[in-house]
């Protein structure tokens, strides 16, 4: 039906052109595929993603009061007295002892956590002269305050858990075992501020003398 | 018999032939450049935020540790966006009348989270875990850049697969001792080369060969 005339060939070529155009567009799209982003945002919520579904605009929901965890997301250590670990109370009184074994490792952890969460206000020495206090925040007491030296260990745990005065609760940021580690480190800070050179091991005494020269 | 083609047809045919070869190459090249450009990767683009929060002021100026606010970064996939409660730990008294912080106070009063604009967003088909990177010794600054120099946060690295793989193929130069992970201006000690990191690799059980398995990130 297609006579092989120049006119007919031109007509055929014209008819093929859209096909070629489509092929070229497809090739270009394929080349642009790395720039395609439809799969980047899939119909599910990422952590902290906003949601119009709830009145406060957040997709993540807070736990219903009284929820008991099936798994322990905070990886609580196995201790004899779990209530003490979580409340700081022993027989209804603030505990004088830690539910965890206080060793160098715990103190190191306590020091690390203290330097992250407490130094902004309490300062590295625990004197309550942290940078935020220098900017005008109400100054917390010095840990060497006799009231705090005599306070049971559970007092520090309770303050970190519930907050105290101007201090907000740190329970959401610091796991219970870390609060005990910090409490132990606060005791170390209290000791350090009243320490006499004679209390130090011989090695450290030498270092101290070397530093003084 | 007269000439069918004018002499200019020579040039024209060369141009057409060149165009046939160079055109698609140029098109491809442009696209490759485009997907690596800030237009696609958002590198260096500062986002509009509900509050003009300055990492420079809080990190460099005040010396607050990253983990004071991003408290789940050592253990969870998400670094943790601080709840308004965390802001108010200090701002209940500091700048407590500042109009700049009005959205923060409103959020606290109404128990309605601040809607920050995400600056670092990996595609949903990528599984990224902050905790494992921190535990193995990848410093914050390796991916986030010198956030302590950013008044408003921007994306420092492109977060492309190519960029992730650069490190997954050869992680050693980017690993540091674990207590230096949160230090912004850490540089490897003089003369140590990569020894510290090479040592850290087996210690942290980094199996370099496995880091390029598809399922390491796509799961």
Domain definitions of chain B by residue range: 8-36, 55-80+119-217, 82-115
Return d(Cα B78, Cα B56) in angstroms, integer: 22
As a dihedral over the C-alpha atoms of residue A187, residue A190, residue A195, residue A201, rounded to 10 degrees, the angle is: 20
- Choose the weakest-confidence range: A14-18, A38-42, A96-100, B199-203: A14-18
Residue B201: pLDDT over 80? no
Helices (H), B71-185: 84-91, 102-110, 130-135, 140-144, 161-169
Residue A209: pLDDT over 90? no
Return d(Cα A60, Cα A51) in angstroms, integer: 9
Return d(Cα A114, Cα A116) in angstroms, integer: 5
- Choose the weakest-confidence range: B9-23, B88-102, B184-198: B184-198
- Choose the weakest-confidence range: A4-8, A21-25, B72-76, B111-115: A4-8
Instruction: Give me the pLDDT at residue A82, please.
Output: 87
Query: For residue range B140-164, what is the model confidence (pLDDT) as tens digits?
Result: 999 999 999 999 999 999 999 999 9
Which residues on A lie below 8 Å from B35 (Cβ)? 34-35
- Residue A146 and residue A152 in contact, taking contact as beta carbons nearer than 8 Å: no
Which of B114, B88, B81 lies closest to A56, judged by CA? B114
Instruction: Give me the pLDDT at residue B40, please.
Output: 83
Return d(Cα B144, Cα B120) in angstroms, integer: 9
Across-strand partners of A89?
A94
User: To the nearest whole percent, how much of chain A has pLDDT over 90?
Assistant: 54
Instruction: Give me the pLDDT at residue B195, please.
Output: 63
- Residue B120 and residue B126 in contact, taking contact as beta carbons nearer than 8 Å: no
Instruction: Give me the pLDDT at residue A196, please.
Output: 85
Q: Which residue has the higher pLDDT, A116 or B35?
A: A116
Which residues on B lie below 8 Å from A173 (Cβ)? 68, 71, 86
Inter-chain CB proximity B90 and A27 less than 8 Å: no
Neighbours of B111 (CB within 10 A): 12
CATH topology of domain A96-193: Cytochrome Bc1 Complex; Chain D, domain 2 (1.10.760)
Inter-chain CB proximity A168 and B92 less than 8 Å: yes
Note whether B28 contacts A: Cβ–Cβ < 8 A.
Answer: yes
Note whether B50 contacts A: Cβ–Cβ < 8 A.
Answer: no
Instruction: Give me the pLDDT at residue A2, please.
Output: 46
Neighbours of A208 (CB within 10 A): 11
The residue among B4, B70, B90 with the most chain A CBs within 10 A of its CB, best to mutate, is B90
- Number of CB pairs, chain A paired with chain B, less than 8 A apart: 83
As a dihedral over the C-alpha atoms of residue B116, residue B179, residue B186, residue B144, rounded to 10 degrees, the angle is: -20
Return d(Cα B124, Cα B168) in angstroms, integer: 19
* DSSP for residue A61: -
Tokens at residue A124, please?
A: 């590295």
Instruction: Give me the pLDDT at residue A14, please.
Output: 54
Backbone phi and psi for residue A184, each to the nearest 5 degrees, phi listed first: -65, -40
pLDDT band at B102 (very low <50, low <70, confident <90, very high): very high
Q: What is the mean pLDDT of residues A157-169?
A: 96
Cross-chain CB nearest to A116 (options B27, B67, B90): B67
Instruction: Give me the pLDDT at residue A1, please.
Output: 43
Q: Which residue has the higher pLDDT, B208 or B29?
A: B29
Residue B137: pLDDT over 60? yes
Instruction: Give me the pLDDT at residue A15, please.
Output: 56
Residue A76: pLDDT over 90? no
Instruction: Give me the pLDDT at residue A205, please.
Output: 87
pLDDT band at B196 (very low <50, low <70, confident <90, very high): low
Cross-chain CB nearest to B124 (options A41, A56, A137): A41
Return d(Cα B52, Cα B54) in angstroms, integer: 6
Inter-chain CB proximity A115 and B83 less than 8 Å: no
Residue A129: pLDDT over 80? yes
Tokens at residue B147, please?
A: 């956030």
Return d(Cα B71, Cα B74) in angstroms, integer: 7
* DSSP for residue B175: B
Query: For residue range A183-207, what is the model confidence (pLDDT) as tens digits?
Result: 999 999 999 888 888 888 888 888 8
- Give the containing element (helix H, strand E) for B32: helix B8-36
pLDDT band at B120 (very low <50, low <70, confident <90, very high): very high
Residue A47: pLDDT over 60? yes
Q: What is the mean pLDDT of residues A96-117?
A: 96
Which residues on A lie below 8 Å from B112 (Cβ)? 56-57
Return d(Cα B103, Cα B84) in angstroms, integer: 10
Q: Which residue has the higher pLDDT, A156 or A69?
A: A156
Instruction: Give me the pLDDT at residue A187, please.
Output: 96
First and final CA of chain A: distance in angstroms? 110
Residue A9: pLDDT over 70? no
What is the C-alpha R_g of chain B?
25
pLDDT band at A36 (very low <50, low <70, confident <90, very high): low
Instruction: Give me the pLDDT at residue A12, please.
Output: 57
User: To the nearest whole percent, how much of chain B has pLDDT over 90?
Assistant: 68
Return d(Cα B139, Cα B185) in angstroms, integer: 10
Return d(Cα A59, Cα B1) in angstroms, integer: 81
How would DSSP label each residue in B131-142? HHHHHTTB-HHH
Q: Confirm whether pTM is higher than 0.95.
A: no
Instruction: Give me the pLDDT at residue B37, please.
Output: 87
Q: What is the mean pLDDT of residues B90-108?
A: 94
User: ∠ at Cα A66 (A65, A70), nearest 5°?
Assistant: 120
Mean pLDDT, rounded, of chain A: 86
Inter-chain CB proximity B92 and A166 less than 8 Å: yes
Which residues on A lie below 8 Å from B178 (Cβ)? none
Q: Strands A93-94 and A89-90, how do they pair?
A: antiparallel
pLDDT band at B124 (very low <50, low <70, confident <90, very high): very high
ipTM of the complex, rounded to two decimals: 0.84
User: Per CB distance under 8 Å, which residues of A are interface residues toward B?
Assistant: 27-28, 31-32, 34-35, 37, 39-42, 44, 46-48, 50, 56-58, 115-117, 120-121, 131-132, 135-138, 166-169, 172-174
Residue A18: pLDDT over 70? no
């Amino acid at each position: 039906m297609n006579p092989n005339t120049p006119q007919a060939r031109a007509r055929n070529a014209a008819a093929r052109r859209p096909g070629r155009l489509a092929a070229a567009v497809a090739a270009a799209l394929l080349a642009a595929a790395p720039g395609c982003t439809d799969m980047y945002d899939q119909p599910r919520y990422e952590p902290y993603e906003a949601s119009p579904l709830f009145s406060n605009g957040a997709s993540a929901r807070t736990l219903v009061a009284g929820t008991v965890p099936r798994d322990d997301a905070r990886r609580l250590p196995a201790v004899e007295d779990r209530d003490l670990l979580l409340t700081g109370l022993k027989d209804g009184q603030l505990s004088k002892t830690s539910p965890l074994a206080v060793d160098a490792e715990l103190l190191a952890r306590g020091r690390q956590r203290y330097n992250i969460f407490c130094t902004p206000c309490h300062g590295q020495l625990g004197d309550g002269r942290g940078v935020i206090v220098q900017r005008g925040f109400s100054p917390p007491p010095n840990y060497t305050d006799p009231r705090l030296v005599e306070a049971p260990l559970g007092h520090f745990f309770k303050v970190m858990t519930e907050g105290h005065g101007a201090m907000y609760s740190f329970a959401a940021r610091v796991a219970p075992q870390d609060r005990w580690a910090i409490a132990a480190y606060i005791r170390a800070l209290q000791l350090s501020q009243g320490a006499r050179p004679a209390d130090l091991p011989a090695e450290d005494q030498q270092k101290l003398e070397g530093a003084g020269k | 018999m007269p000439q069918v083609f004018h002499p200019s047809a020579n040039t024209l045919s060369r141009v057409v032939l060149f165009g046939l070869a160079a055109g698609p190459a140029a098109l491809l090249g442009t696209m490759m450049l485009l997907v690596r450009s800030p237009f696609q990767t958002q590198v260096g683009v500062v986002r509009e935020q509900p509050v003009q929060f300055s990492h420079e002021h809080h990190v460099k100026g005040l010396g607050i540790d990253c983990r004071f606010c991003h408290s789940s970064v050592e253990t969870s996939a998400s670094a943790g966006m601080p709840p308004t409660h965390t802001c108010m730990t200090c701002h209940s008294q500091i700048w407590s009348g500042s109009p700049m912080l009005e959205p923060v106070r409103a959020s606290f009063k109404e128990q309605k989270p601040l809607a920050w604009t995400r600056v670092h967003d990996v595609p949903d088909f990528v599984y990224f875990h902050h905790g494992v990177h921190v535990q193995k010794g990848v410093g914050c600054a390796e991916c986030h850049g010198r956030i302590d120099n950013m008044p408003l946060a921007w994306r420092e690295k492109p977060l492309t697969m190519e960029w992730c793989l650069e490190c997954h193929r050869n992680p050693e130069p980017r690993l540091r001792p674990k207590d230096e992970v949160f230090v912004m201006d850490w540089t490897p000690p003089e003369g140590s080369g990569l020894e510290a990191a090479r040592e850290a690799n087996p210690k942290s059980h980094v199996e370099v060969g496995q880091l390029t398995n598809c399922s390491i990130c796509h799961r």
